[in-house]
Amino acid sequence: MINHTTNKYHISIYNDETFTEGSVDHVNHYDLVYFEKSKYRSTSIYGIKVFKNGTLIKSAAIGAIGGGTSIHETSTIIEDDRLLICCSDTIFCLSLPDLGLLWRTQADVATCFEIYKYQDSYIIHGELEISRLDRDGKILWQQGGADIFTTITDEQNFELSEHFIVAKDFENRVYKFDYHGNNLSTKPSIDTSMNKFKQLFESKKNEVNELGITFNAPCSGEDLAELELKLSYPLPPDLVEFYTFCNGFSTDDWLFRVIPVHEAVDYKSELANNVFHFAEYMIYSDQWLIQLQEGGQYEVINDNHGSHEMTVQTTSILKFLEIYLTEGLFSKLDNNSFWERLNKNRD
C-alpha cells in the first residue's frame, strides 16, 4: 500500500488481487471498476480510495493483463487534477477527486515498472521499452534494448538526468536516450588509427619516454555512461575520443597523471554538477578540472595550488596535452612551468 496526501485529499492505493468484479462477497466494493475486456483475469489489480477530511468520497479498482507489478514510490504520480499509476503493462490516468478514467495506455508489451514526470509529459520505465507519453496518453516515442531493462542486482538501473535517460539491461549493458527518443548510447565508432590523441603521442615518442608516461587501457562505455549520469551535460566528442584512446595515464614526472574515469566518478560529489577531475599531480597537490558548458563546449580550469581563483587555462584537452608534452610540469628554463606555459597559450 502507498498513501499520498495533497492539500485537499488523502489517497490510498493498494493491491487487491482477490477482487472480482460483480462479487458480493469481497471485503472491498468500488464505485468504479476499470478492467480490460479479456477472457483472462487481470494480473495486477489495485484498489484506490480518495478521502477528504477523513471521509471516503470515491473509490475505484483498476486491472490489466501482462507482467505483475507492485505499488511503490515511483509507480505512481499525483498531480493536482489527476493520478497516474503503473499497472501491469498499462498506465492508467484517473481524474481527481472523482477517479474518472481520463485515459489508459499500454506502454510496454510486458510490464511498466516506473513512471516519472518530465516537463508536461511522462517517462515510462518498462520491462522491454522506455517510452515517453504526452499528457493525453499518446506515445511520443519508444526505445528498446538487447535485453529486459532490469538488472539481477538491486543496483539503480534507471535514472533521469537533466539531458538524458540512462537505463541498464539484464546483462548490465548501459543505454542512454535523450528526451526526444534518440539513442545516445550508440556513439559513432572512432577509427583508432585516426584518433588525434593517438597521433599526438605517437608523434611525441621521445617526450613520452622521457616523462615515463604509462597509458591506461581505453575506457569502457559503462564507465563513460556512469560519469555522464552525474554530469549536467553530455561529454564533448573530443573527451570521448581521448577516453576511447586511453582511460588516463600516469607518469614519472612528479606523479602527474590524467586520472581514470572511475576515479573522476568517485570524487564527483565534491564538485558542481558540470565539473569533474581530469588531471592532478603529487597526490592532488594541484589539479585540473573539466568544466562543461552548453553546446558541447568545455574549459580546463585550475587554481594553481589553491593560490588563485579558478582560472580557465584552455578550452582544448588536445592543447593541454600538447603543452604538457613539451617540457613536463617543471621546465629547465625559469618562468616556464606547465602552469605558465598554459597561461601564455590561453585561448
Q: Please name the residue that has the C-alpha cell 612551468.
A: 337
Sign of CA dihedral 162, 163, 169, 173: negative
DSSP per-residue letters across 225-274: HHHHHTSSSPPPHHHHHHHHH-S-EE-SSTT-EEPPHHHHHHTGGGS-TT
pLDDT in tens, 57-72: 999 999 998 889 999 9
Query: pLDDT class for 193, splitting at 50, 70, 90?
Result: low
Q: Are 298 and 236 in contact (CB under 8 A)?
A: yes
Q: Please name the residue that has the C-alpha cell 516506473.
A: 114
Closest by Cα among 305, 335, 341 to 322:
341
The stretch 194-207 carries a mean pLDDT of 93
DSSP per-residue letters across 36-64: ---SSPPSEEEEEEEEETTEEEEEEEEEE
C-alpha angle with apex 324: 322 to 330, nearest 5 degrees? 150
Of 36-45, 103-112, 182-191, 336-345, minimum mean pLDDT range: 182-191
Gap between the Cα atoms of 116 and 35, Å rounded: 23
Sign of CA dihedral 229, 230, 236, 238: negative
Of 39-53, 183-197, 274-288, 330-344, minimum mean pLDDT range: 183-197
At residue 190, the pLDDT reads: 52
Query: Please, what are the domains in the chain?
Result: 2-178 (2.40.128.630), 192-344 (3.40.1580.10)
Is the model more confident about 346 or about 347?
346
H or E element at residue 194: none
At residue 192, the pLDDT reads: 57
Query: pLDDT class for 334, splitting at 50, 70, 90?
Result: low
The stretch 315-319 carries a mean pLDDT of 95
pTM, rounded to two decimals: 0.66
Closest by Cα among 340, 338, 197 to 254:
338
List Cα–Cα distances, 202 to 35, 193, 199, 219, in angstroms.
Answer: 67, 11, 5, 19
Q: Above 70 in pLDDT, residue 187?
A: no
Highest mean pLDDT among 145-154, 279-288, 326-335: 279-288
Gap between the Cα atoms of 5 and 7, Å rounded: 7
In whole numbers, what is the pLDDT of the chain averaged over residues?
90
